[in-house]
Structure 1
Amino acid sequence: MKFVKEIVKKEKITSQSVVAKDIKEKYNNYYFGFPFEDYSHYLTGVAEKVRVNIENSLKKLDLNIWESMYETNDTFKLLVRFYANLENYCNSQLETEKDKPLPNKIKLLKLSPVLENTLIELDDMRNQTIQGAYELSSEDKEKVNNTVVNFTLNLIEKHIKPLINGKKLKAKYNYVDLRDLNSEIKIFLNAYLNGIFNHGKSANTQIKTFLEQILIN
């Protein structure tokens, strides 16, 4: 009797293993509800939906005003245009603070301490340069370029971070592997951002770091 029970137990375990394997193989090759389509097709469809959501969100940000800054290679002009855009952005986000000095508005944007301090420092540098009391050095030029890219990426992150939250994506598209989806999103954002920023290796490094950080879920 004990022998028979052991046989039944083994058969049950084997049967469960086969079922689990079948399910795993099914979802590795097909997505639920469409048994004649493969996983890559499902992944492409999900990635396209996420891409459209990202693009629609960025349209609200109106990146055109930020993209237009990169038409000039003159760092001083870039600095002036950037702060004009920054002031307008602050006013749109902080309507009750429009009459306050720009440094005060910057502090209300809830940026990282490093970015906040850099923006305030460069604003002072801009004012001195306009008055002819300061001349931008090569180090200043690099700092301006890096800060412009960093701030713009910060704006983009605020808009798209909720759209690529791992838990939310997994709950909505529970048959997709987040590693695969992240790769698709990364390819799209990398091409998109490199189309905006044209400051060479420095910008490329910032974009790479940005993508690595924002896609951690």
Structure 2
Amino acid sequence: MIGIRSVVFDVGETLLDDTREWMAWADWLGVPSHTMSALVGAVVAQGRDNADALRLIRPGLDVAAERRAREAAGRGEQISEADLYPDVRPALAELRRRGLWVGIAGNQTARAAELLRALALPVDAVATSGEWSVAKPAPEFFARLIEWAPGAPEEIVYVGDHPANDIHPAKVAGLRAVLLRRGPLGYLAAEDPAATAAADWRVDSLADLPGLLSPR
């Protein structure tokens, strides 16, 4: 085991089950839920941005503008306790109990950051790309993360399910990386030799983390 000071988590399909949000988009765009699920799976398998699933339904869709329209209509994004995977709270709490600084930083809106903070998760800080005005996989996102989380880059672990957004750019930035085998991308990545080779660890559950990460 190596000394670690901070553990930072991605959000979608790492901490949150995204089912509710995708079904909300299906309802908003007027397509069946199974159509939305199939399109999300298709763009993920092709290595495309998840939002491309929405643009396949409505070509040229401005996702940010459509999000604002949903909010204005009282049908904006929601995050509740029910959206958390069952291993989230216990794993975060145990990591903090062991003396690690725990953060959440992902590609979400500023509104999502507010909703996450309202859950009062056992973490030290929450940030999103919407607040930082830079999104993964941009190197600037990880540079900001390194300024934000305590420790040198090699003392910071980033946990996520997305090879292109999480694992590879985290490693380029000098961080340690955990590939979580969860969600469409996580399961696909687990079969990708490049992704598994890049990750320092591969886990099937966040419950595995406390036993792997040792505080400095």
Same fold, TM exceeding 0.5? no
Q: Tell me which protein shows more helix as a share of its residues.
A: 1
What TM-score does the superposition give when structure 1 sets the normalisation length?
Answer: 0.26
Q: Tell me which protein shows more strand as a share of its residues.
A: 2
